[in-house]
């Protein structure tokens, strides 16, 4: 089913699409003419018994034949009506009817809903029965000798479905797992389905159950079934917004209601069941994963449970909408679609006896696995919590408890409730074959005769003179039936009320969090055409300013959420609303924000983390109750049609062959209510067409949809009607293109915003990226790389495809090490000084970096190791080089990946590596800043100026290295050794080095040129210039100094980013400036008073700006105090200005001596 629009089509009567309750009625089952065809696409095991195999089903009939605005997709409907194909049963099996629903998403994002009731019908075709008998004979002949070995899988699955008392009986097991045409009755599944434009799940379920009841009842229905199907297809309209509607099924009226324009959108799936199945805590966690657009896989044996959870969670997203692949029921023939390297929300049916450990999934690094039946979820790593999660869960718990639902969930409660709703007590009571009693007057004694307990009670009653008399049970049963009917109606109302109240709580959270989102929307385009044309290059939302305005606890979640496609689409819709009709969800959301502002009257930018409960619960529940208690519209009653006599004859237990001629077309005239709706719809359609004509042409819109939106927007659901290799290849080609485009967009944004941040630190603009945003972007890049490495994967080991590839590459390289030395990439060049002392070459390679990660005991999982390796490689500016080396092993890549995989598309792979190479133009500290508790080896070298000082000193030197995360403490340096290595907890970016000695011995004076310190894991080398003496009686007589560091760049980095690299954020004091030998001779250029005053002002302003920034974004205060243009240097110039002499009475006098003396005099 594809296409959109609302023009009436043939066979539809005069009712437009927007006004018809149902579009199609469909009948699926076995085609007696085709016989039994194995469903190979379902992937069933042919070692199973024939009754447990899957056979192809077929659409037997659908009415009407086609609708122009919603063409009938036969393959898709057949696949989703019977996802497992045909199922066979015998008289000993359970044959209860099963209800499930499905959804088909069109290319434009609109949805069509299907509601299916599957039941079992006796097979009357001798050909089918004989074929099944033949299959069993062949099966038994092939597996007789190895029945216990080869059939263990099927026997286990059968054993699990038997009663507990029968599981140990081999004879009963064999009886259960066989078919004898002379002894057994064969049944086959058949489905009846309604396809509707809106999800009226409860109403469709009631209608289908009444149809099934009419087929299985002993008495024929009041009218032929064609009358009821014709009525719901052509004569039952959709209720208008804000109204309720009553139409008639076979036996009872059916009621449905539709929310008004200012209310939350229609949602008919009971959230009660979703909360009972998952539990409140688990559901909120899965909901958070959906918001962050992770890959979500639902897992259950029950198709309806998959739909209930999927629809329930997506309903709670208001005002946002899921923008990616959405397949709540994934047919067995489409299991390869789990390989999709995009965010998805899919539902997979579990098989009996199959646990989670046996389920092999293509990618799990960013997967949220939801085992519905076992009340269990697996969450991805690095998972942020929903804001105010504890208070949020508490508020939801209060709502659930009011409706008698335990917040922790209850599987048994859910099952019993659903079974109770499906019961038809009257049929059960009158069905003597099932052992039930009739409603006639009966004797209590006769009913319970033979029960030992009753016999003892009877004897006791006789001794006490009490007689057991006959009693009338019909009245009590009737009253019970009446009460149950009322309870069911009340339960349905309570479900509606619970639905709307839970949704109001969720909607209130978004209203509170995004109450001021409009203030941060950037609207620069003057017209829609220019905006759509430049959409990809434009920034539509001021993310940095928005995050800086949020409470601190919200930031981990919000920083990731505002990067999602659903948020981008939400902002796009807001911008588009200035040129065209506002999106319905956006209109409702904006009206709620206006209401908050009206009542709260708070400052637009004032944010608070205080939890504010929803205040509209009672009002929302009352509106639902009012619509359900008073019907606004009643549809035309089903009536006799002009049918041919003799056709469609009623036969109990068999769905009749419907007369297609009376169901193919609608009535020639409709009531005035439908006509008025049709007129309004046509008027709306003309306005829409006029808007399209004066606005944009379709080509531009299509270009926008393809280029500006993400890939997932266009691939909401796999194409079900054509599963040919060419179509699958085309789909994978789209995935490859989408991954490449996503890589380009992510690297471009990371590069531009990072360079913009560096420019800000140099005073060239305003900040547009924070540390939190940077970490979010890098985490997003890690996720992208995992999805790229998962695409087309043939051999999967562990949850991380990237780390698995790295491990296998490492094993191959290490095996070759004994034959030849592995090629290594040299690190920074040897840095020589005047003294000839230098840092030894740091030998780094892909394998060496992997070993660093493997030695980190803090990381426990493969996904965590892969992300740590990506961060380390990115910080070392080796990510592109390492991945190129990894992919250079062609035999390994071909072994691990299928031909269509992204990593085997040479042109796209080269472009991908080129995009990653562009990230080398900026400095990242994404490894150092994240893994703050790991132990890191450092190497330090002290470089003296040997031309002016002693080569050997007799004092005991020491050093203390400090960084943004801590310091090493004082470490003694062995005498006459200028180089040392030490290991300590991660210091972060290095900022200062304290160096000194104890002035012992004859050769105690020491002129230090600089100190070099290198992080042996990241390779970052810091230079700490000194150019001063340490020793008594020389320079200023100081025995210790604080040195400010600067990060050094390798020659390769300088060559690579020579044209695009921004200057360093703050240069440390250079040797030429700090060398005091020239300053003592008075030969240096002395600044004038104006320059000194300017320097003091700049230093103070920098310190003020430092404390004005958020704490997480502040740099090093030490640099601002002691750096080249710091406050200390500026004050030193103040006191040097006009200083007469550096020597008094042959004694060195320094500025700080004067300050010390002045301080002492003031204390007296």
111: helix, strand or coil: strand
List Cα–Cα distances, 243 to 74, 247, 253, 880, in angstroms. 33, 13, 17, 60
List Cα–Cα distances, 115 to 23, 205, 248, 415, in angstroms. 12, 7, 17, 20
Six-digit token pair at 203? Answer: 């109403």
List Cα–Cα distances, 422 to 213, 418, 717, in angstroms. 11, 6, 31
Measure the CA–CA gap between 448 and 234, rounded to whole angstroms. Answer: 53
Q: Do 281 and 271 form a contact (C-beta atoms < 8 A)?
A: no
Q: Determine if the peptide bond prior to 469 is cis (ω within 30°).
A: no
Element (H, E) at 913: helix 906-917
Q: Do 816 and 832 form a contact (C-beta atoms < 8 A)?
A: no
Contacts for 1080-1087: CB closer than 8 Å, 24+ residues apart:
1080/1035, 1080/1142, 1086/1136, 1086/1137, 1087/1133, 1087/1137
Give the residue among 312, 307, 310 at the shortest CA–CA distance from 270: 312
Measure the CA–CA gap between 485 and 479, rounded to whole angstroms. Answer: 10
H helices within 441-536, ranges in order?
444-448, 452-464, 474-513, 528-533
**Residue 707: pLDDT above 50?**
no
Q: What are residue 999's phi and psi, to 5 degrees?
A: 65, 25
Q: Do 1023 and 1012 form a contact (C-beta atoms < 8 A)?
A: yes
Give the residue among 679, 669, 632 at the shortest CA–CA distance from 240: 632
Measure the CA–CA gap between 920 and 878, rounded to whole angstroms. Answer: 8
Across the strands, what pairs with 751?
A: none
pLDDT at residue 410 in the model: 63
b/e per residue, 736-770, with b = 16+ CB within 10 A? bebbbebbeebbebbbebbbbbbbebeeeeebbbb
Q: Do 734 and 341 form a contact (C-beta atoms < 8 A)?
A: no
Measure the CA–CA gap between 1137 and 1155, rounded to whole angstroms. Answer: 14
CB proximity list for 45: less than 8 A, separation 6 or greater: 153, 154
pLDDT at residue 747 in the model: 82
Instruction: Kindly compute the dihedral angle of the four CA atoms of residues 566, 572, 575, 578, in this order, to the nearest 10 degrees.
Output: -100
Least confident of 120-134, 382-396, 823-837, 971-985: 823-837
What's the per-residue H, E or C state across 766-812? Answer: CCCCCHHHHHHHHHHHHHHHHHHHHCCECCCCCCCHHHHHHHHHHHH
pLDDT at residue 952 in the model: 66
**Residue 197: pLDDT above 50?**
yes
Least confident of 538-547, 761-770, 923-932: 761-770
Measure the CA–CA gap between 355 and 370, rounded to whole angstroms. Answer: 12
Per-residue pLDDT of 620-653, as tens digits, reads 888 888 888 888 888 889 888 877 665 556 677 7
pLDDT at residue 474 in the model: 38
Q: Do 650 and 220 form a contact (C-beta atoms < 8 A)?
A: yes
pLDDT at residue 767 in the model: 41
279: helix, strand or coil: coil
CB proximity list for 481: less than 8 A, separation 6 or greater: 425, 426
**Burial of 1162 from C-beta contacts in 10 A (0-12 / 13-18 / 19+):** exposed
Measure the CA–CA gap between 306 and 299, rounded to whole angstroms. Answer: 7
pLDDT average, residue stretch 88-112:
83
Element (H, E) at 244: strand 244-248
b/e per residue, 1140-1152, with b = 16+ CB within 10 A? eebeeeeeebbbe
**Residue 714: pLDDT above 70?**
no
Six-digit token pair at 1097? Answer: 């002002």
Q: Do 1148 and 1034 form a contact (C-beta atoms < 8 A)?
A: no
Measure the CA–CA gap between 1076 and 945, rounded to whole angstroms. Answer: 13
Region for 865 from its dihedrals, namely left if φ exceeds 0, alpha if ψ lies in -120 to 50, beta otherwise: alpha
Per-residue pLDDT of 33-52, as tens digits, reads 777 777 765 555 556 777 77
Give the residue among 166, 133, 140 at the shortest CA–CA distance from 154: 140
Q: Do 677 and 19 form a contact (C-beta atoms < 8 A)?
A: yes
Measure the CA–CA gap between 976 and 980, rounded to whole angstroms. Answer: 11
**Residue 676: pLDDT above 90?**
no
pLDDT at residue 297 in the model: 92
**HSE-up (13 A, CA, CB side) for residue 238:** 23
**HSE-up (13 A, CA, CB side) for residue 572:** 20
Looking at the chain, how many residues does it have? Answer: 1164
- pTM, two decimals, is 0.73
Q: What are residue 1046's phi and psi, to 5 degrees?
A: -135, 140
Q: Do 866 and 786 form a contact (C-beta atoms < 8 A)?
A: yes
Measure the CA–CA gap between 510 and 851, rounded to whole angstroms. Answer: 44
pLDDT at residue 392 in the model: 92
Total Cβ atoms within 10 A of residue 913 = 16
Band of the pLDDT at 948, cuts 50, 70, 90? low
Q: Do 405 and 272 form a contact (C-beta atoms < 8 A)?
A: yes
**Residue 252: pLDDT above 70?**
yes
Give just the sign of the alpha carbon dihedral 1033, 1038, 1039, 1042: negative
Give the CA angle between residues 427, 431, 434 to the nearest 5°. 120
pLDDT at residue 8 in the model: 34
Across the strands, what pairs with 246?
A: 255, 634
Per-residue pLDDT of 389-444, as tens digits, reads 999 999 999 999 988 888 887 654 444 344 433 433 333 334 433 333 333 333 44
Task: Work out the percent of the chain whose per-residue pLDDT is above 90.
Answer: 13
User: What mean pLDDT value characterizes the chain?
Assistant: 75
Per-residue pLDDT of 952-984, as tens digits, reads 677 888 999 998 888 999 998 887 788 889 999
Maximum average pLDDT range among 139-143, 706-710, 780-784, 968-972: 968-972
Regarding predicted confidence, which is higher, 201 or 827? 201
Give just the sign of the alpha carbon dihedral 565, 567, 571, 574: positive
Six-digit token pair at 1000? Answer: 């012992």
Regarding predicted confidence, which is higher, 827 or 877? 877
Measure the CA–CA gap between 230 and 13, rounded to whole angstroms. Answer: 12
Q: Determine if the peptide bond prior to 741 is cis (ω within 30°).
A: no
Measure the CA–CA gap between 508 and 501, rounded to whole angstroms. Answer: 10
pLDDT average, residue stretch 256-264:
88
Measure the CA–CA gap between 455 and 726, rounded to whole angstroms. Answer: 75
Strands 367-371, 376-378: pairing kind: antiparallel
């Amino acid at each position: 089913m594809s296409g959109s629009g609302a023009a009436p089509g043939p066979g539809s009567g005069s009712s437009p699409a927007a006004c018809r309750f149902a579009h199609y009625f469909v009948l699926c089952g076995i085609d007696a003419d085709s016989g039994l065809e194995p469903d190979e696409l379902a992937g069933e095991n042919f070692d199973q018994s024939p009754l447990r195999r899957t056979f192809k089903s077929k659409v037997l009939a659908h009415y009407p034949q086609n609708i122009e605005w919603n063409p009938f997709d036969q393959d898709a409907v057949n696949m989703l009506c019977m996802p497992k194909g045909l199922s066979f049963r015998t008289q000993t099996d359970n044959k209860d009817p099963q209800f499930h629903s499905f959804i088909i998403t069109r290319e434009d994002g609109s949805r069509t809903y299907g509601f299916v009731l599957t039941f079992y019908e006796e097979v009357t075709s001798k050909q089918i029965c004989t074929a099944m008998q033949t299959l069993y004979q062949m099966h038994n002949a092939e597996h007789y000798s190895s029945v216990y070995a080869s059939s263990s899988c099927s026997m286990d699955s059968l054993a699990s479905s038997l009663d507990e008392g029968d599981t140990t009986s081999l004879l009963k097991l064999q009886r259960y797992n066989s078919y004898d045409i002379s002894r057994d009755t064969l049944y086959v599944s058949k489905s009846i389905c309604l396809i509707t434009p809106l999800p009226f799940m409860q109403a469709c379920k009631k209608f289908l159950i009444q149809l099934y009841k009419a087929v299985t009842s002993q008495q024929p229905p009041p009218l032929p079934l064609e009358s009821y199907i014709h009525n719901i297809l052509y004569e039952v309209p959709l209720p208008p917004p804000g109204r309720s509607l009553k139409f008639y099924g076979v036996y009872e009226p059916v009621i449905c209601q539709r929310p008004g324009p200012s209310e939350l959108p229609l949602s008919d799936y009971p959230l009660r069941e979703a909360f009972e199945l998952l539990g409140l805590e688990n559901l909120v966690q899965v909901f958070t994963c959906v918001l962050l657009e992770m890959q979500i896989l639902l897992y259950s044996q029950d198709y309806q449970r998959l739909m209930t959870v999927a629809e329930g969670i997506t309903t709670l997203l208001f005002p946002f909408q899921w923008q990616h692949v959405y397949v709540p029921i994934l047919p067995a023939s489409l299991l390869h679609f789990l390989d999709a390297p995009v965010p998805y929300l899919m539902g997979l049916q579990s098989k009996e006896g199959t646990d989670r450990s046996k389920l092999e999934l293509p990618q799990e690094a960013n997967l949220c696995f939801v085992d519905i039946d076992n009340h269990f979820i697996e969450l991805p790593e690095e998972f942020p919590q929903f804001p105010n999660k504890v208070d949020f869960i508490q508020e939801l718990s209060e709502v659930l408890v009011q409706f008698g639902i335990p917040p922790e969930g209850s599987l048994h409660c859910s099952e019993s409730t659903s079974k109770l709703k499906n019961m038809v007590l009257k049929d059960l009571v009158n069905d003597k074959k099932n052992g039930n009693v009739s409603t006639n007057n009966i004797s209590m004694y006769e009913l319970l005769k033979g029960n030992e307990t009753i016999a003892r009670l009877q004897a006791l009653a006789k001794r006490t003179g009490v007689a057991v008399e006959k009693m009338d049970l019909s009245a009590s049963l009737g009253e019970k039936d009446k009460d149950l009917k009322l309870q069911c109606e009340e339960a349905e109302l309570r479900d509606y009320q619970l639905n709307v109240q839970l949704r109001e709580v969720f909607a209130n959270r978004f209203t509170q969090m995004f109450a001021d989102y409009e203030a941060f929307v950037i609207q620069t385009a003057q017209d829609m055409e220019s905006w759509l044309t430049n959409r990809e290059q434009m920034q539509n939302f001021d993310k940095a300013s928005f995050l800086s305005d949020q409470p601190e606890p919200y930031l981990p979640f919000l920083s990731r959420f505002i990067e999602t496609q659903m948020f981008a689409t939400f902002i796009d819709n807001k911008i588009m609303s200035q040129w065209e009709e506002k999106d319905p969800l956006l209109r409702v959301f904006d009206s709620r924000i206006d209401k908050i502002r009206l009542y709260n009257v708070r400052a637009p930018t004032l944010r608070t983390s205080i939890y504010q409960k929803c205040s509209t619960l009672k009002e929302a529940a009352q509106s639902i109750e009012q619509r359900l208690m008073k019907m606004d519209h009643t549809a035309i009653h089903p009536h006799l049609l002009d049918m041919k006599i003799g056709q469609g004859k009623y036969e109990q237990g068999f769905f009749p062959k419907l007369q297609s001629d009376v169901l193919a077309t609608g009535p020639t005239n409709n009531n005035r209510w439908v006509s008025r709706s049709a007129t309004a719809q046509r008027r709306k359609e003309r306005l829409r067409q006029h808007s399209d004509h004066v606005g944009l042409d379709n080509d531009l819109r299509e270009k926008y949809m393809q280029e500006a939106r993400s890939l997932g927007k266009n691939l909401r659901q796999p194409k079900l009607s054509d599963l040919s290799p060419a179509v699958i290849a085309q789909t994978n080609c789209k995935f490859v293109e989408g991954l490449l485009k996503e890589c380009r967009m992510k690297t471009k944004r990371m590069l531009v915003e990072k360079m913009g941040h560096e420019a800000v630190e140099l005073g060239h603009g305003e900040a547009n990226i924070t540390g939190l945003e940077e970490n979010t972007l890098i985490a997003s890049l890690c996720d992208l790389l995992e999805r790229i490495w998962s695409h087309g994967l043939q051999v999967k080991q562990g949850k991380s495809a990237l780390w698995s590839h790295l491990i296998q590459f490492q094993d191959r390289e290490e095996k070759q090490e004994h034959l030849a030395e592995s090629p290594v990439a040299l690190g920074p060049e040897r840095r020589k000084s005047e003294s000839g002392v230098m840092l030894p070459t740091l030998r780094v390679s892909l394998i060496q970096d992997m070993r660093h990660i493997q030695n980190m005991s803090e990381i426990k999982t493969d996904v965590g190791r892969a992300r740590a390796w990506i961060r380390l490689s990115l910080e070392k500016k080796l990510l592109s080089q390492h991945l190129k080396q990894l992919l250079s092993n062609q035999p390994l890549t071909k072994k691990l990946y299928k031909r269509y995989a992204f990593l085997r598309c040479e042109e796209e792979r080269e472009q991908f590596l080129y995009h990653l190479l562009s990230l080398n133009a900026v400095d990242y500290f994404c490894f150092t800043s994240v893994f703050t508790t790991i132990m890191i080896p450092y190497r330090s070298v002290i470089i003296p100026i040997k031309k002016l000082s002693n080569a050997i000193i007799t004092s005991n030197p020491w050093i203390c290295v400090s960084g943004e995360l801590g310091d090493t403490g004082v470490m003694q340096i062995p005498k006459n050794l200028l180089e040392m290595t030490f290991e300590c907890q991660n210091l972060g970016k290095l900022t200062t080095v304290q160096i000194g000695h104890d002035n012992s011995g004859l050769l105690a004076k020491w002129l230090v040129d600089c100190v070099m310190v290198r992080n042996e894991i990241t390779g970052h080398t810091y230079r700490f210039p000194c150019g001063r003496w340490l020793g008594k009686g020389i320079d200023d007589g100081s025995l210790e100094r604080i040195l400010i560091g600067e990060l050094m760049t390798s020659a390769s980095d300088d060559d690579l980013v020579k044209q695009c690299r921004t200057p360093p954020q703050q240069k440390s004091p250079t040797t030429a400036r700090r060398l005091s030998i020239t300053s003592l001779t008075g030969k240096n250029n002395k600044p004038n008073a104006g320059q000194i005053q300017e320097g003091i002002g700049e230093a103070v302003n920098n310190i003020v700006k430092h404390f004005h920034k958020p704490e997480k974004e502040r740099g090093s205060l030490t640099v601002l105090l002691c750096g080249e243009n710091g406050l200390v240097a500026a004050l030193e110039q103040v006191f040097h200005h006009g200083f007469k002499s550096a020597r008094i009475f042959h004694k060195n006098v320094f500025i700080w001596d004067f300050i010390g003396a002045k301080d002492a005099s003031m204390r007296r």
